[in-house]
Amino acid sequence: MTRPIWVQEPTPYELNLRCQNSLSDHLGIEFTSFTSISLSARMRIDQRTIQPMEIMHGGASAALAETVGSAAGNYCIHSDLYYCVGIELNINHLKAAKEGWVHATATPLHLGKQTQVWEIKIQDDNGTLISAARLTLMVLEKKKGR
């Protein structure tokens, strides 16, 4: 059995509350589930997430990938002492998505003291791989008194 990666266990309910009034809320990103080593969210393809050619916008895919990867990273650290921020995102758009939902799952490739690297796969409702992303996070120490 794989050892859980979470310092504090994420819950979709808590994550969705935490993301209210943010970009992920505006795009309709919803956290859906987690396992001992992954975190998942989904986003509907609609007027908020498409480009003029009526397919999912690459920027919406990137926002989904960074949202789920960053959220996962922040649950792998002691949040009273540290926080994670994205420092690099690479995403390959492999297939167009036109309707329904896309589902993103983040799994860690590296969980270090100063950096984390996450792989995020985005699939459509049929399980077809739409985009593949790699997100690098920097782990920063919270300033005392904040």
**Is the distance from CB of 38 to CB of 107 less than 8 angstroms?**
yes
Q: Which of 14, 30, 66, 99 is catalytic?
A: 66
Q: Provide the H-helix boundaries in the chain.
A: 12-18, 23-27, 58-74
CA-to-CA distance for 65 and 70, rounded, in angstroms? 8
Residue in 2, 1, 8, 31 with CA at minimum distance from that of residue 108: 2
Q: Answer yes or no: 54 catalytic.
A: no
1 has a pLDDT exceeding 50: no
pLDDT at 62: 98
Superfamily of 12-141 according to CATH:
Hotdog Thioesterase (3.10.129.10)
Per-residue pLDDT of 47-85, as tens digits, reads 999 999 999 999 999 999 999 999 999 999 999 999 999
